[in-house]
Structure 1
């Protein structure tokens, strides 16, 4: 049979312009320390693993796309109603639903930079426009500059707290003041992927701000503290009109039955989760103190990683040097190095490999 030659299929022009998401490098052997992705380095919680193993026997069936049990569980845990809960494939998947539901081509989305590098990818995919507001000199969100960046085309503001990759949080008072200056038609998304790791005396209460402001939405995930990164499940707390719209634009069956069962089990495993989070927080503080004593500039981050602000020359040297010691970390061009936390022995490898900053910087 003869076939005619058809014209070459053409991708949308914006696809060629999309920045590539640089996922953290994976370890290729058991001796390598994979600290380039902010995932949990502990085994799954035993009670959660047991639930997943049982649920796996039913993986020939479609999940319930509405995730009623999980939404009810989240609502009960956070004192909201199920209609205010939207479940999706990770908080990033839910954020894509938010942008799809709210933004038309050419609309603007304001966020700090550097922040989560997937933000500009999702914005570009929606043919919207990223408005990147530089972080302040102390690595914090410059909320005043972000408010000043709002125009008539602004539809969404993203606030990542603790911020990825710097780890700093936004104070409650500053956030409340910021919201009072944001037009009511602009949706403010508070991205709290790392909220469980926050150990501040007076932390941001995003849910209180959600209840006080009809244009606030809160994003969270089960990928980090809960250790379910491989199952892809996150959620938003949104006012009911927005929540209904987010569910309408979501991909059906995007959150598997295994993920729903695991997330619900993890919500019940409060004590186990708190113990694990405490281990990470203790290691974060210990590693930060050790690196500061060695002369490295480490901010008081509140996530499951530490951040080193560097120029590009030092960034490349750090990444290459640690790789020579079988430690994989994440370098950000023009900004610095993010090192995810692991167990005590692995974190000690990082401290030892970096050594004294003055000696490291002088070495060739």
Structure 2
């Protein structure tokens, strides 16, 4: 009998774990999760009722694909159902992209820092990451266009960007898309679409009609507050959407998740009132932090980026000891979720005490 063990693919060597190690809550007192860009509000009563009813049927498999949700989204977005693919969060659709669209040796261009799934998805497919540094915290679209070569198979573009919250806007985005070869897939990640309030905000769903190489991704995790149920969707022309559906995990969106998403679509008016409150808190929080001397760029998401440079980890540690759990990017800054008013008040006070020179 051989004593050797199965050998994992070499492409997996060095791939980081996707989920960061969560900060440690304080030993005493309340703590606030401000490190995963979660919605601070619990499900609406109508959504919770749908979840409860669906949970009673979890002895049954869900449909292979969430057909009722697909039809509802098609009506909501005014697109044919065959333009849609779904998955357990937008991350699930990135895995479909890796299987359907990326081959070993392909190059994938994306900004950095950006969504942490990008290097993981690319390397798992055996493809080659081409990371283009941000310019003053914003996508450098000229540099990204220049990085495209005959070996490029895809471009990932997070608009607005995670973790900086910054955005390029529709006009610049369209100019960039016009420069991308038609045989290169462009994944426009709009996870924070509902928080994007600039009059120049792009709409990937509208853009995809005239661009066969464009895939717009959205999610129910953020604005709809269903992060724990994992529901995401993509909108693309039929040939591309069909290829992604072929790679989707069967029954990947649970019955509970589908019913919660359907109930959320029915309750959008109430949910978007909450989004308005989060946006107002975002602006209040940014105004307070910039007044304290911190560099905080304008955000179009439900989080803020605090440029703390080399002091990022130390600042995060101080905040965590006070029950404010934030995400540190060593040497760069902090990503801070816009939480409840109470959590935001505590953050303003805590950061104010730590501001240099005060």
Q: TM-score category by the smaller chain?
A: over 0.9
Measure the CA separation in 2 of the matches of 1:27 and 1:85.
Answer: 39
2:66 is matched with 67
1:27, distance to aligned residue in structure 2 (A): 6.4
Secondary structure, counterpart of 1:355 in structure 2: helix
Aligned match for 1:214, one of 212, 215, 238: 212
1:246 is matched with 244
1:200 is matched with 198
Measure the CA separation in 1 of the matches of 2:247 and 2:117.
Answer: 19
1:124 is matched with 123
Secondary structure, counterpart of 1:231 in structure 2: coil
Does the alignment pair 1:10 with 2:37? no
Does the alignment pair 1:318 with 2:299? no
2:355 is matched with 360
2:222 is matched with 224
TM-score calculated relative to the size of structure 1? 0.94
Measure the CA separation in 1 of the matches of 2:192 and 2:178.
Answer: 25
Secondary structure, counterpart of 2:132 in structure 1: strand
2:161 is matched with 163
Measure the CA separation in 1 of the matches of 2:322 and 2:247.
Answer: 46
Measured against aligned partners, the alpha-carbon deviations of 1:308-357 in whole angstroms (never above 9, x if no partner) come to 12222x1022111101211110001232100011111110100000106x
1:279 is matched with 277
Measured against aligned partners, the alpha-carbon deviations of 1:68-115 in whole angstroms (never above 9, x if no partner) come to 110011111111111101010100110110121111101011111010
1:193, distance to aligned residue in structure 2 (A): 0.4
Aligned residue pair count: 356
Secondary structure, counterpart of 1:212 in structure 2: coil
Secondary structure, counterpart of 2:331 in structure 1: coil
In structure 1, list runs of 5 or more residues that go unmatched: none
Measure the CA separation in 1 of the matches of 2:284 and 2:24.
Answer: 24
Instruction: For 1:173-188, list aligned pairs within 5 A.
Output: 173-188=171-186
**8 Å Cα contact 1:305-1:341 kept in structure 2:** yes
**8 Å Cα contact 2:109-2:155 kept in structure 1:** yes
Secondary structure, counterpart of 1:63 in structure 2: coil
TM-score calculated relative to the size of structure 2? 0.96
**8 Å Cα contact 2:65-2:253 kept in structure 1:** no
Measure the CA separation in 1 of the matches of 2:215 and 2:10.
Answer: 31
Aligned match for 2:262, one of 252, 264, 267: 264
Secondary structure, counterpart of 1:329 in structure 2: strand
Measure the CA separation in 2 of the matches of 1:94 and 1:250.
Answer: 7
Q: CA RMSD in A?
A: 1.5
1:217, distance to aligned residue in structure 2 (A): 0.8
